[in-house]
Amino acid sequence: MEVRRTPDNKHRRTRRGVVGIESAIVLIAFVIVAAALSFVVLNMGFSTTQKAKSTITSGLGEASSALEIAGQVTAKGNTTASKVDAYTIPVKIASGGSSIDVTASKTAVKYFSKSVTYDNIFKGVLESTTYTNMDAAMTAAKTAGYISETPGVGAGPSSTAAFIYFTTNVNNNSIVDAGEQAVLAIAYKNADRPAALDQISAEIILSSGAPLTVVRNVPTITDTVLNLG
């Protein structure tokens, strides 16, 4: 008579339980690894987004000029010689801009016309006081050594030069702040003086922000004060 042995159901159930636990452990490990990878990817994405934002913000800041024209560009006309002896460009901080240092070490002024080109004619800033007109500022610039002679007087300055003076300067320093107004003045030596219909250009190059370029056409010189627009 054949004797059949009954399977040990207890041991079979135990083996199936061990396999189930191992599978669960492997699944949990996969979930943890996937979560870790997802965190890394998300973190890299946030970091990249932040860097892109910073780059865009910096680019926009550099693309816009720190200064803007704050009024009429005027010139000192010499009716006898039919030339322009000097001219001024009023400037202020651009809307939403930060204060800007305009000292000679951090600022340059490039000048060019039909006949001459200068890479940098900027000499410095008159910061100790404010001035109500070009003539007073020119006298102070001569005293400071920025120009050798007042434009239109005798042989005029020995070289074409630019300097900045303030009409409004709260802190009496070389930094243009919000609410202050500065004026870029350019004094010509006699040989460089532009005549009627000449085009004159000045480019103010700052330590930050895009340069401010001002281009004007010289009108017929019939007065000592010329409005260049």
**Considering only CA atoms, which of 216, 195, 208, 126 is closest in space to residue 166?**
126
Position 27 scores a pLDDT of: 72
Position 66 scores a pLDDT of: 84
**Considering only CA atoms, which of 222, 175, 157, 173 is closest in space to residue 196?**
222
Supply 161's token pair.
Answer: 């030069």
Supply 41's token pair.
Answer: 């990817």
E strand residue ranges, the chain: 67-69, 74-78, 83-93, 100-101, 108-113, 117-118, 122-130, 161-168, 175-176, 181-187, 199-205, 212-217, 225-227
Supply 10's token pair.
Answer: 């207890």
The DSSP annotation for 41-69 comes to HHHHHHHHHHHHHHHHHHHHHHHSBSEEE
Position 47 scores a pLDDT of: 56
Confirm whether pTM is higher than 0.85. Answer: no
pLDDT in tens, the chain (229 residues): 444 555 555 555 555 555 566 666 767 777 777 777 776 666 666 555 555 444 444 444 444 558 999 999 999 999 999 999 999 999 999 887 889 999 999 999 999 999 999 999 999 999 889 999 999 999 999 999 999 999 988 888 999 999 999 999 988 899 999 999 999 999 999 999 999 999 999 999 998 888 999 999 999 999 999 999 9
Q: Are 64 and 43 in contact (CB under 8 A)?
A: no
Position 55 scores a pLDDT of: 43
CA 87 to chain centre: 24
Dihedral sign, Cα of residue 128, residue 200, residue 97, residue 105: negative
Position 183 scores a pLDDT of: 97
